[in-house]
Chain A
């Protein structure tokens, strides 16, 4: 795995913005990241391409799922030094509210970090953290170091 190894060689192993900048799909969605101490927040600014229902309008369910997944993987990469990007084994998403045409924020917590598999919970919200629009839990396969 070149991307993560290269960033680590440059001393930027925990530079999550640099990691996301190298992932074309994250760039296409427009996902940014904010790291304060050990707290990682993903940020998805609104743009028209993310809409799934033009009448409401509302974010596409796939965008919500993708942001939850990327939030989980970003937290995993921040917490651990993976050789390659963790592979998603499964992801279970609860859609709680429709996503409005506004910025969306995400946080994740690694609930268990095993040798091969990690369990991660994510949540994303818009105006109020206490009113998440989607939550997920997933299992991720970690590359052995």
Chain B
């Protein structure tokens, strides 16, 4: 029981990070019907900007962890948002109205370019991030096994919940969110009502990128080490999470992230940690075969 609880705590933490990245996939898919294959790279860049941010905070003598985290969070979100915007402008917008595969190919191109750019600029070796938040507490002890929750895990889950709640509120309740959903459902009609569709699509990329940057920062803090290649695996897993939850569905992305975290951690904890990635991707295959619209995906049939 103790071992199970410990795995559960770890899984929720990991699932939170996947969920944050998955939101970007699902939102972009929702609005333009395409997967942003450069999204994992935005996550990776967010992690690097966070690392640089923490180093700057250190050299400025900001020793309070909460202040440093908030500052780095804002820094990473705003810089990555620019990357998200630039990806849309360079890889997607010029190819709108072109054949469907074209923007996917250009996005993969952007992805490769960003990986190599970071590799050149930051070096290929893994970068240690140092420990920003340490410590935790014992939840309970059973069978001679301490079930531990670290402060960092609490921060990760709390930041994720706050961001997801805020984000859900923006989409469901604000005029901006309504315009975003309107573009998703009928772009031509949205334009007829005065929505600037191009700007709304840009905004979707920007919001997704900002959330991915937060995931990047949390990843850096949790694992303590990053390199230019982390975006690939995390990106594909978050993509799997988005598909599992139902691509295009916002709550689906959050649920999918959590489930992928659970699957991965429990597989590693009970079966084999070498094959944890295989477990996550086997789920992708199974979902695509048996339930392509995902757990919370929208039904395709609509009354006209």
Instruction: Tell whether A and B belong to one assembly.
Output: no
